[in-house]
Chains A and B, each alone.
Chain A
């Protein structure tokens, strides 16, 4: 069942992109390009203070302003919407329920205070100027240290402080292992706040059908189905009794719901049984109303006659940030329903930098128990994440601690591991998934391995190789549970990277550069990542989350032979239209021009709670379209066998010609076969062949892995860091389209370079954001990002669909490799790199060229 790389056909080739026909000619359709007739434009009034009570808000003048149609305050929204529920519940977690807009209190600069809807965006923004808000400032919580202090002002009153989550996982007798090891080496690491920053900001257009009030929501979303359900659940608020009454009296809705629920439960019975009620108990102990609210949402959904249609079109990047259901989306939908007219909101860049999603701000204390020869014994980590004020929805920082916990031991042997996870609330923008949301496990571990090697007087490569899980050890398991097979080929990538970098030659270069006053350093970092991980991996994250490994796809052949594939994936730059069509065209034996991919429209695409994220595209989405297409192929072959009076096993398909093997001149086209099937069905309106199939990546779809290696050159006049060479040796299994994979890797590395050297969501002591334009938040340009060499190992796996995800890895490996190289370059000064953010001033401090603050 494996597809070896380079097999005849399209998989394995860098075919040009289907998307480029429109994207290179200005004919893409992004959410900002959607303009329903008579659409109104929205602008949000956002809090200028980090933490304050709203004493009063005066909107009368704004309502009277020219072209302004309506103004909504937080109090208005409380009347029109239900609060966001605590979607993700874990033992030890309080996850606050929160409203679409804030009525009583603001919790960060940029918090939503009022919404103006007007005939134009210009008029809406004019309207904002006329709103007067009287705030009573509260003490801001601006840092992890402040949040950990029991005297800090609570961001969420019911949390009982600003520590929302505190949980310790232990594997093995860690204390005994630490006591027995030759020595224990400890270091503290700090990662700064960063932001996803897709070039397209967020945006949503709520289109209201003037005849029947049906909502069509056009949105730049990574998950159109989730957005649909949440808009249905949180807007159109009516009493619980009224919802129940409507549910009981609406037979069609009830029947549809019962059918869907039965289907879902049947598909996922095992996972549902494994859901852990401890999280709900933890939530309930602090806030009964929020758990009750979750159940009321269900009743609210049941009472709806009509759910919105969500359509996502072309999306200008996301990197995790558009997987969120935004508070803005709910407020906009509620406003559009209330006014009865279409409403459009396109976020501006200042909003995006303050409230469009931030990530990575984490402190980690790491201790490694190690023998003198560099053999790892035990690992202890204490991590604290600053989630900002509002929790990411559906999954935020607490969920990511579960992945960090599982992955932190990396590709190495350990006798014991312990991790304490804390999540704190501060008055900052929300922490969201950002390309490899768990990536600081790799940064802290790989940084720490260099620290250990330096302390023991060993080479970092020697220490890595000594402790790394070897192919001869497989199958085995990580100390945290997930099984490991040969797709975890980290050691092979490391060996190859060492060959490519030639450390001996580098030492010569370093010496000659030093003679000229230039400082060179070599850094490496290794990781494996769940892309998307197998069944047991997800079970180790949190019981029941392996629901994410199932996805449906539909393949149809119309009476005229046209092939359409419907995916639940939500492409936003990853080239699914190209790679999925490569998979399907190979499966069906047709030219790729014959296949069309449909995505993003909840009326057409199969339901999923995931969408695109978590490196699931090729392994799960690709597996689903392959499976549905394989089943369609079987139907085509069976029909052709009848028509050609041959046995099915004698039928071959080449370039769309379905024929008895050896007799291609007497073959049939898909159109001829589809026509025949249609005549037999006596229904010309339906597809001739139509298969919806569920694919479940239980045992395969395992690990992606890589070693990143780079050389840095540091100028101690300016503190600037150049990267003259950057090498990635990666293994994501068979590559569908090498140019697409290379692009994913390089884009991720570029974000990692930005993270270390340029990008920082800085906040001052009063939690005021300091980087709210691109003059302050520095996205690296073509001058800062070097050419990046990408080398592929293509280890096959025993599974059915052995593609593995590659979208996140570049960003996971890069910060560790770069910071390791910088410490190596600054070794002559005894530098110890413990911060991930290393702008020129920090470099000069590390080299003692300038003093510390």
Chain B
């Protein structure tokens, strides 16, 4: 019997490391859908990289059976959300599938930038918010202080906050109970035309795309012909079901429910998060609100270290793309690195995830070029060109002016770090600062900054100047005029196109020098002196050199034992394989990203 009154759809949102995943694990454990023996920590974050970094990249969903104090059996649909600012659109779609959220706050760290950002997202969707103060077992836990922040900074009633230690399991049962009590059951009408929100999709090598949906109206069952609103494409449904820890096939999904739809969709790229599914025969009048295409904002090229690996790389990207609709790529080529791909990412973290997965899961040696944002050039001819690849930098003589994307950064930090962060933001060309003191000793600061500055060594320095106590969030706002130049790197007089960067003119010299110094550190000494230069056009603006080896030969190579020597040299040959030859210079993989690291603390 379908009784929406027994369904609760909720999500857990938190600042990174505040214990979201641990709480999710506890809820799953408490629901008894997994036995102790197979219980793994952080079941929802099931990608290896996610597990290692303690963050969630993709959404997951799980239906938790729960018998509440009122004696009735509920289904609590937990929709996990990506925990990083790169994926805020994915978060918003997951939240759109819920009626309520658990807003988890670390009892020691208190409210942080992502706590606030997540709260705003939840409020936008008009969700019931249950504040949960987690990690109350920590010696540094300060519950009264956190309650004060909940009142002052979040505007919520601190008396409604639940206390728990997900790690130790205390207070978790009460969380379950309050989900039932406070979060309203889903509305919707199962007799109306089908309207289902796609909040995620995953690729299954046997079944194709598995769409994760929340039904707002109507029902969907196997055999139905469905239509995706944004593309108009129609598919016949093969299977529907809901999630326990694995897919559980069901007759139908009805209004208010969360589950999956399999409809013979070959690639995940055909499905867009945020899109609406309806019936082809009896469509809903309009799509559910909030759909937009997620657009990449950070771009970099990926090249195989060994040219022979190009085909393997192409295959790996194709396969990777199956499960990551927000990743885009196209062919690219470089004089220095040969054939490769230009790729677009939602942010730097997304980029790192893709890089790691390609190396780990596909065992590929790759070179990633310095990331770039997408610049806009207004040419004297009146034409506007968007450039995210330094290789496509327009002829400087043809440029009327340039624009670059700006973000609004929101930072929350103890006020003792204010000076240092202000300086950092100003160094990063930040402008228009706004300060707000949400509670004593804490500052909320907003700055408008070029996105390019954030991808260039911002996080590390921010973390360092705030000693880890600052939190950071951002959103793209607009494009603004900027003075840009193309900074080239030359190795022994030869331009390495893959190391070129588009930079602000005022920063060209320091950036050029930093790049030269980084390369000096990363490129191992070789047989010849290596000159590294940074140039704008034909003007050399910075230079470093790497002194050559003077002696590298074994004294004795006789007695006939040539084998030992050969093995030694073959090892060196192997080491060379991990490097890219540019002219006569071997450049290690690490050098290509190192140019983006600055040396100031």
A-B complex is real:
no
Contacts from A to B (Cβ < 8 Å):
none
Contacts from B to A (Cβ < 8 Å):
none
